[in-house]
Amino acid sequence: MPNDVSGNAKVAGIVQDINLTQNEFSWALSIFFFGYVLFEVPSNICLKLIGPKKWVSFIMLLWGGIMMAMAAVRNASDLMAARFFLGVTECGLFPGVVYLFSLWYTKEEQALRNGIFFSSATMAGAFGGILAYGIEHMDGFGGLHGWQWIFILEGLPTVLLTIVVYLYLPDFPETAWFLNNEEKELAIRRLRIDAGPATQTEFSWNQCRLAFTDWKVHMHMIIYFCHTTALFAFALFMPSIVVGFHFDRVTTQIMTAPAYAVACFATIYCAFSSDRSKERGFHLAAAGAIACLGYILLIVTRNSSTIVRYICLTITASGNFSTLPPMVSWVSSNIGGHTKRGVATAIIISFANSGGAISGHVYKDDDALQGYVRGHTICAILSGTLVIFTLALKWLLTRENNRRDRLTPEEFEAEAEGEDLCDFHPGWRYWT
C-alpha cells in the first residue's frame, strides 16, 4: 500500500545507522515493487482457487513477520532482500480486496466500499506518522534504534490481526457463515442481475487469456501506471518533503498526519459522489487534475511560508488518494466474468506497480535544496497524463455503449454467439 513506513524509518535515521547511500536507499524502496509485480497475478489466481480467507490470512502472517524482521537489517543487502520479499507477500492484498468487493457489491456500491478501504490506508499514513513520532522517543529503549521499533511495532498488529481475518473473513456470499439461506440467495441474485449477461463464475483459462488481450485492460494499465508512480513517490518521500519545511526530525513525523487526515475525507467524499452519480471517468479525471495542480503549486510556492507550502502539500495528497476509489471501481465495474475480472485486476495493478520501482528514484536528495522541483514536475506530468487517458477512455466506452444501443436484432444475435464473452457480450453496458 502507498503509505510505506520506510519513509518514516529514513527520517528516524536508518540511512545513517546502517550506512546507506542515497542510491542504495532508493533501490531498497524500488525493489519492493519487483516482488510485487512478479507475484501479483499468481496471487490473485491463488485467491480464486484457495479462497480469500485462507489466502489473505497466509500472506498477512508472512508480510507482518517480514516487517518485524526488518528491524534486524544491518546493511543495504539485508534491507533490499527484506523489501523484495515484503513485496512478494504483500502483493495479494490490494488486488485481492478490490476483487473481493466485486464479488459482494453491485457496481454502484463498489466505489464507496473501495473508498472506505483506501481511506483506511490513508488514515494509516496519518496514524503511522503519529505512531512514528511516539516511537522516535523510544530510541535507545531495549538497545534498539527508533527505526527498528517502527518496523517492529507496525508489523506486530498485522500478525495479530491474522487470527481475526482467518476466523471472520467470509469467502463468497454463497458460503458466508453469517448469512442464512434466504440471505445468501438474495445476495447471489442481486449480483447476478447486476452482472447482466456476464454471469460466468467458474474458473476459466479462456477468461485469463481475454484479460491479457482486452484493450480496455491496456488503457487502465496506462492510467493506473501514471497514478501509482506519482502516488508511491509522493507517499514514500512525504516525510522527506516535510523535512524541507524546516521542522525538526521528530516533529516531521507527526506533521505528515494532518495532510493524510484531510486526504482520507476527500477520498471518502469522492467515492460517495462517484457511486451516487453512477459515474467514474469525470471523478477520476477531476481528482487527477487536483493532484496535478497540487504538484504545480508545490513548485510555485517552494519559497513561500511553511503554512502555504503545507496547504499545497495537503491539496496534492487529497488529489492523489481521491483517484483510487473511482479508478479501481471503474475496472471492476467494466470487466465481466469472475476469472477475467480477478486476473485483469491483478494485471492492471501489477503493471501499475512497476511504476513503484521507478517511484523510489523520483525524489532525490540533490533536489531537496530546490524544493524537489524535479520530482514534483515528474509527478505533475504523470497526473496530467492520467487525466488525458481517463477522458479518452470515457469517450471510447461511451461510443461503444452507443454502438451497442444501435444494434439491430440480427446484429445483436450474431455478436451474442459464443461462450465466455464476458463484457464483450452486446447486452453488456460499460460504466463511464
pLDDT digits (tens, 9 = 90+) for 227-278: 989 988 888 778 778 777 777 666 666 777 788 889 989 999 999 999 999 8
> How many domains does the chain fold into?
1
Q: Is the backbone of residue 365 left (phi > 0), alpha (psi -120 to 50) or beta?
A: alpha
| Whole-model pTM over 0.85 | no
Contacts of 16 (CB under 8 A, 6+ apart): none
- The pLDDT score that the predictor gives to residue 197 is 64
- The pLDDT score that the predictor gives to residue 254 is 73
In a domain, 185, yes or no: no
Cell numbers placing 115? 473508498
CA-based nearest residue to 242, from 61, 111, 372: 372
Q: Are 284 and 390 a contacting pair, CB within 8 Å?
A: yes
In a domain, 254, yes or no: yes
Inter-CA distances, 198 with 194, 225, 333, Å: 9, 27, 11
In a domain, 430, yes or no: no
Residue spans of alpha helices (H) in 214-256: 215-243, 249-255
CATH number at residue 150: 1.20.1250.20
In a domain, 256, yes or no: yes
Q: Are 106 and 194 a contacting pair, CB within 8 Å?
A: yes
- The pLDDT score that the predictor gives to residue 3 is 45
**DSSP element (H, E) containing 55:** helix 52-69
For residue 369, give its domain range.
6-168+202-405
In a domain, 190, yes or no: no
In a domain, 116, yes or no: yes
Q: Is the dihedral of CA 17, 238, 329, 406 positive or negative?
A: negative
- The pLDDT score that the predictor gives to residue 94 is 78
Helix (H, G, I), strand (E, B) or coil at 94: helix
What single-letter DSSP state applies at residue 368?
Answer: G
Cα 303 from Cα 292, distance rounded (Å): 19
In a domain, 317, yes or no: yes
Q: Is the dihedral of CA 19, 25, 29, 32 positive or negative?
A: negative
Largest CA distance in the chain: 77
Parts of the chain with a pLDDT under 70: 1-8, 11-12, 121-122, 124-130, 132-133, 136, 195-203, 248-253
Range 166-198 burial, b when 16+ CB lie within 10 A, else e: eeeebbbbeeeeebeeeeeeebeeebeebbebb
pLDDT digits (tens, 9 = 90+) for 174-208: 888 888 889 888 888 888 777 666 555 566 777 77
Cell numbers placing 392? 479518452
CA-based nearest residue to 221, from 37, 42, 400, 4: 37
CA-based nearest residue to 271, from 332, 334, 322: 322
Cα 264 from Cα 415, distance rounded (Å): 44
In a domain, 60, yes or no: yes
Cα 334 from Cα 432, distance rounded (Å): 9
List the end-to-end C-alpha distance of the chain, in Å, as a whole number.
Answer: 26
Cα 348 from Cα 359, distance rounded (Å): 17
What single-letter DSSP state applies at residue 342?
Answer: H
Cα 350 from Cα 95, distance rounded (Å): 9
